[in-house]
Structure 1
Amino acid sequence: MAVSFNHTIVASTDRAESARFYRELLEVAAAPSWGVFTNIQLSDGVLIQFAEPPVEIQMQHYAFLVDDELFDRAYARLREWGVVHWADPQMRRPGEINHEHGGRGVYFKDPAGHAIELITRPYL
Structure 2
Amino acid sequence: MSVQLNHTIVHSRNNREAAAFLADVLGLEVGTEWGPFVPVETANGVTLDFATVPADSLAVQHYAFLVSEEEFDASFARIRAGGIPYFADPHMKRPGEINHNDGGRGVYFLDPSGHGMEIITRPYGYQEPAAG
Q: TM-score, normalised by structure 2?
A: 0.89
Counterpart secondary structure, 2:24: helix
In the aligned structure 2, how far is the partner of 1:23 from the partner of 1:55?
A: 22
- 1:50 is matched with which residue? 50
Structure label with greater radius of gyration:
2
Aligned pairs for 1:92-111 (under 5 A) are 92-111=93-112
CA contact (8 A) 1:31 1:39 kept: yes
Q: Name structure 1 gaps, 5 residues minimum.
A: none
Moved over 4 A (4+): none
Change (3 A) 1:12 1:60: same
- 2:90 is matched with which residue? 89
**Percent identity of paired positions between Structure 1 and Structure 2:** 50
Cα offsets for 1:54-95 (capped at 9, x unmatched): 352111011000000110111111111111111011111100
In the aligned structure 2, how far is the partner of 1:43 from the partner of 1:35?
A: 23
CA contact (8 A) 1:11 1:52 kept: yes
- 1:25 is matched with which residue? 25
CA contact (8 A) 2:13 2:54 kept: no
CA contact (8 A) 2:13 2:55 kept: no
Say how many residue pairs are matched.
124
- 2:60 is matched with which residue? 59
Letter paired with 2:64: A
Counterpart secondary structure, 1:30: coil
Letter paired with 2:102: H
In the aligned structure 2, how far is the partner of 1:112 from the partner of 1:24?
A: 15
In the aligned structure 1, how far is the partner of 2:89 from the partner of 2:30?
A: 30
Superposition RMSD in Å: 1.1
Q: TM-score, normalised by structure 1?
A: 0.95
Deviation at 1:30, TM superposition (A): 2.4
Cα offsets for 1:104-123 (capped at 9, x unmatched): 00011001100111100001
